[in-house]
Amino acid sequence: MIPNLNRYKEKWNVKSDDIIKPGLAAIEEALVRVGHPENGLQVVHLAGTNGKGSTLTFLESLAKEHGLRVGKFMSPCIVDVHDQIQVEGQAITGAEMDQLFQQMQAAGLSEKLTDFELLTVAAFLHFAASDVDIALIEAGMGGLLDSTNVVTPIVSIIPSIALEHTKFLGNTIESITHHKAGIIKPYKPVIIGDLPQEAKDIIYKEAREKQSAVFELNQQFSVGQEKDGETYEYDKQSFHLSKLTRTMKGAHQANNMALAITAFLEVATALNIKVIKSAFQKGVKEATILGRFEEILPHVILDGAHNPASVEKLIETIKSEFPDEQIALVIGILADKDVPQILQLFEQISDHFYFVDFNNSRAMGAQKMLELSGAPYKEVLVDYASFLQHQSERKLRTIVTGSLYLLTEVRNRLKSI
């Protein structure tokens, strides 16, 4: 369920299904009815297991510093449905959403789409009406059959690939990559991160068939480290940057930064935008994202690591940032994730686990997580807000992690106290 979406569905009597239905036929028909708003957009399309949101955030910041008007469509939400659709960093307003739903109701879209498909149409309509210079579109699940895959982008980005959504995408890296590679469009380049070899093989094959160039991290472009910051190199354009300093923590964010810089350089070439090196430095520094190593209270960090690959990245960051500190973990995870492996990985850095229930029908119960945990100290937290405040006051490093839906609930709860 997408928080607050039902408010508009009920108000405008637009019905849609709260389920996943992979496929493009329904949204293609819907877009015909609303006049194909997606066709007038200049798009960067992102798909992948982890890193989409961070790469998109770096890219948004770079575009903003170059004077572009940016629209972005992300999932899942941070607070509620409004922040999934943004223009110039501002969430869509209630009045704007009303206007879109009125338009979609008049076009006869009721009972024809899923919730996410409906929201995708709304995003395209909003970006077209807002006259954005660039639209950054994040796939909801997979890529090939995802409702966002009706666009023809300037460039596609696949930051990472790991096992996820196996019920829909298959239970092998190869089958999942087949879906992610579906966002590659004929003659349009794709930028890829550090992927498993079996994933790269499939992507390169898909790109050859579509005559699309592939730009790969540590091949055509790379990021390095100097004493006064990070460096970036792009062989294709003989482009070099130095003194890059990130606010977003973690070595993996350097890779996401490099993907975003490369994508922006391709966008700049396609749209004839003059690149400014100082704008890259400022854009990288000012890029931040909620739920990515976010300090919500002193000593309390939120991070949405919800699968083994993202957990491994979080563990690396924790070891780097807090090498000598005892870590307490507050965890809530969706039941369709690989919970046993996630808990086992977290046991590398902590003996103290606190499990919480949160408001999502797909969430695993806190008691069930506790039973799966092998941690020497573990308990179910009922009042996590008081616990986190107490941890902060005592200067005890605490990481709240797992589902992004949990992070949204925790953030809202703490801000309301």
State whether residue 334 is helix, strand or coil.
Answer: strand
CA dist., res. 155 & res. 217, Å (int): 15
| Amino acid 309: pLDDT | 87
The continuous run of DSSP H or E covering 355 comes out as strand 352-355
Beta-carbon contacts of residue 240 (< 8 Å; ≥ 6 apart): 231, 232, 233, 234
The continuous run of DSSP H or E covering 240 comes out as strand 239-244
CA dist., res. 203 & res. 255, Å (int): 19
Q: What share of the chain is helix, strand, coil (3-state, %, to 5)?
A: 45, 20, 40
Tell me the CATH number of domain 5-286, given options 3.30.930.10, 3.30.2020.30, 3.40.190.10, 3.40.1190.10.
Answer: 3.40.1190.10
CA dist., res. 217 & res. 348, Å (int): 28
Question: Is-contact 303 294, C-beta < 8 A?
Answer: yes
Residues facing 297 on adjacent strands = 300
> pTM of the full predicted structure?
0.88
Domain residue spans of the chain: 5-286, 294-416
| Amino acid 23: pLDDT | 92
State whether residue 216 is helix, strand or coil.
Answer: strand
DSSP H stretches of helix in 277-403: 277-286, 308-321, 339-346, 366-372, 384-393
CA-closest candidate to residue 120, choices 23, 188, 51: 23
DSSP H stretches of helix in 107-214: 115-130, 166-169, 173-180, 197-209
CA dist., res. 85 & res. 100, Å (int): 12
CA dist., res. 140 & res. 26, Å (int): 16
Q: Tens-of-pLDDT digits for all 417 residues of the chain?
A: 788 999 999 999 999 999 888 899 999 999 999 999 999 999 999 999 889 999 999 999 999 999 999 999 998 887 789 999 999 999 999 999 999 999 999 999 999 999 999 999 999 999 999 999 999 999 998 899 999 999 999 999 999 988 776 677 777 999 999 999 999 999 999 999 999 999 999 999 999 999 999 999 999 999 999 988 999 999 888 899 999 999 998 889 999 999 999 999 999 999 999 999 999 999 999 999 888 899 999 999 999 888 898 999 899 999 999 998 999 999 999 998 899 999 999 999 999 999 999 988 889 999 999 999 999 999 999 999 999 999 999 999 999 999 988 998 999 888 877
> What single-letter amino acid sits at 148?
T
CA dist., res. 298 & res. 127, Å (int): 37
Backbone angles phi, psi at 386, to 5 degrees: -65, -40
| Amino acid 166: pLDDT | 63
| Amino acid 336: pLDDT | 86
Of the chain, the end-to-end C-alpha distance in Å amounts to 25
Q: In what order do the strands lie in the sheet with 352-355?
A: 294-297, 300-303, 398-402, 328-332, 352-355, 377-380
Q: What CATH topology corresponds to 294-416?
A: Protein-Tyrosine Phosphatase; Chain A (3.90.190)
